[in-house]
A = this chain, B = another copy of it.
Amino acid sequence: MPLIAQKFGGTSVADAGKIKNVARRVVATKKAGHQVIVVVSAMGKETDRLFNLAHQIDKHPAERELDMLLSTGEQVSISLLAMAIHSLGFEAKSFTGHQVRIVTDSSFNKARIVRVDAERIRQELNQGQIVIVAGFQGMDENLEITTLGRGGSDTTALALAATMQAEVCEIYTDVDGVYTADPAIVPEARKIDCISYDEMLELASLGARVLQLRSVEFAKKYGVTIHVRSSFNDQEGTWVREEDSSMEEVIVRGVAYNRDEAKLTIKQVPDRPGLAATIFSTVAGANIVVDMIIQNVGEDGLADITFTVSQSDSRRAMDILASLGEEQGLGEVECDTGITKLSVVGVGMRSHSGVAAKMFQSLAKEGINIMMISTSEIAISCVIESKYTELGVRTLHTVFDLGGA
């Protein structure tokens, strides 16, 4: 009997009525002749409520205890969903992460799944049960409860789908699928029917928020087909799967943007061998991820080095560079948070040239200055001033012909 994994996010199980809706959808899948594994998140604002309780007690709660606390949210949802399925006359059992042995490493708040024990789930499925598993949580080798961090329930669903060799992992959410661009900015953005893992990885890392990067990495690694779709209607959403030749016919699959980066510039860096390496290894040593880098050498032999980091790390990066600057005789450091990284993504770029030129020209034509550029095999990104974000996204969406028929 074919197996389907389904994951429902917090908005899909926000109250008793919505949980009953999810139950009907799960039962419909079961009735259609599938075995079903369901993964659910905590109800709506439950995680916020628990966070709040913790912060009333201690502003910096221990990570271990925070995981103990937050993991209760999913445990509530799974039991309620089981009850809702029972009341429709179907068999279902809920399981915590530890009960189905979702074993993780010991990094509280951001644990990674090491393995899942298929045995218990297999038994229950074979007895006709709908198996409901708490998302977002696991346990380490020492029976400690861990949580998987942002997007953790998606990761749980994909790990279970991979382990149990599900036909597809359906990710139910409050949008209809993955779009060619943010519909809030581009009204004529289209839902993408089918996208490759690599394209989805690029879109996720470049700012699209429907799926978390880690989940897509997981799906790619184990070859799990994802179907991202709405929990509020029955329409097909977006399929994320292995690349096939038809996918190359589309040059650009989608446009993404990210406003959460900051651009740092170190002025007048002496031309000394190994100095750039010292700068970036110092930054990396503080656990700050550097994204794009450019270097401009002036006529005086001194260079300006510019790079981007996430805005949340920019304050810390400035402090590190200030003290390093005194030590190494660097010039002053400037920080610009008013930037946006604008990207186009598509596997078709591999076999089509001229995409970059078309992108730069169309932005220039709108008077949008490009400050930095980076490229990968299937993506091109430009850093622009934030105020041009919407204009830039719409321009690229039009110029690459991504709109509706």
Listed in ascending order, the chain A residues whose CB lies under 8 Å from chain B are 16, 19-20, 50, 53-54, 56-58, 61-62, 64-66, 68-69, 71-72, 75-76, 78-80, 82-84, 86-87, 93-94, 96, 98-99, 120, 143-145
Q: Could you write out 11 A-B pairs with CB less than 8 Å apart?
A: A53-B76, A54-B83, A61-B83, A62-B82, A65-B79, A65-B82, A65-B83, A68-B78, A68-B94, A99-B145, A120-B143
Q: Is the CB of B69 within 8 A of A143?
A: no
12 more contacts with CB within 8 A, not counting A64-B93, A68-B94, are A16-B53, A16-B56, A16-B57, A58-B86, A61-B83, A61-B86, A62-B82, A62-B83, A66-B79, A71-B75, A96-B145, A99-B143
Q: Is the CB of B87 within 8 A of A57?
A: yes
Q: Is the CB of A75 within 8 A of B68?
A: yes
Which of B16, B76, B83, B87 is in CB contact (< 8 Å) with A72? B76
Q: Which chain B residues lie closer than 8 Å to A79 at the CB level?
A: 54, 65-66, 68-69
Q: Which chain B residues lie closer than 8 Å to A75 at the CB level?
A: 68-69, 71-72, 75
Q: Which of A19, A80, A94 has the most CB of B within 10 A?
A: A80
CA distance A78 to B71 in the complex (A): 13
Q: Which chain B residues lie closer than 8 Å to A120 at the CB level?
A: 143
CA distance A54 to B61 in the complex (A): 30
Q: Which chain B residues lie closer than 8 Å to A19 at the CB level?
A: 57
Q: Which of A57, A76, A78, A143 has the most CB of B within 10 A?
A: A57
Known A-B contacts A68-B78, A68-B79, A79-B68; A84 and B99 likewise in contact (beta carbons under 8 Å): no
CA distance A61 to B94 in the complex (A): 13
Q: Which chain B residues lie closer than 8 Å to A56 at the CB level?
A: 16
Q: Which chain B residues lie closer than 8 Å to A96 at the CB level?
A: 68, 145
Q: Which chain B residues lie closer than 8 Å to A145 at the CB level?
A: 96, 99
CA distance A93 to B65 in the complex (A): 8
| Dominant SS among interface residues on chain A | helix
Q: Which chain B residues lie closer than 8 Å to A50 at the CB level?
A: 76
Which of B62, B84, B143 is in CB contact (< 8 Å) with A86? B62
A12 to nearest B CB, angstroms?
15
Identity of the chain B residue whose Cβ is nearest the Cβ of A68 in the assembled complex: B79
The 3 closest A-B pairs by CB, nearest first: A16-B56, A69-B79, A68-B79
Q: Is the CB of A54 within 8 A of B68?
A: no
A383 to nearest B CB, angstroms?
41
Q: Is the CB of A65 within 8 A of B87?
A: no
Q: Which chain B residues lie closer than 8 Å to A69 at the CB level?
A: 75-76, 79-80
A273 to nearest B CB, angstroms?
48
CA distance A71 to B78 in the complex (A): 13
CA distance A33 to B349 in the complex (A): 70
A3 to nearest B CB, angstroms?
22
A323 to nearest B CB, angstroms?
31
Q: Which of A53, A65, A69, A94 has the most CB of B within 10 A?
A: A65
Known A-B contacts A53-B16, A82-B65; A58 and B76 likewise in contact (beta carbons under 8 Å): no
Q: Is the CB of B99 within 8 A of A83?
A: no
Q: Which chain B residues lie closer than 8 Å to A58 at the CB level?
A: 83-84, 86-87
Q: Which chain B residues lie closer than 8 Å to A76 at the CB level?
A: 50, 53, 69, 72
CA distance A99 to B94 in the complex (A): 19
A130 to nearest B CB, angstroms?
12
CA distance A95 to B164 in the complex (A): 30
A139 to nearest B CB, angstroms?
9
Q: Is the CB of B57 within 8 A of A20?
A: yes
Identity of the chain B residue whose Cβ is nearest the Cβ of A49 in the assembled complex: B76
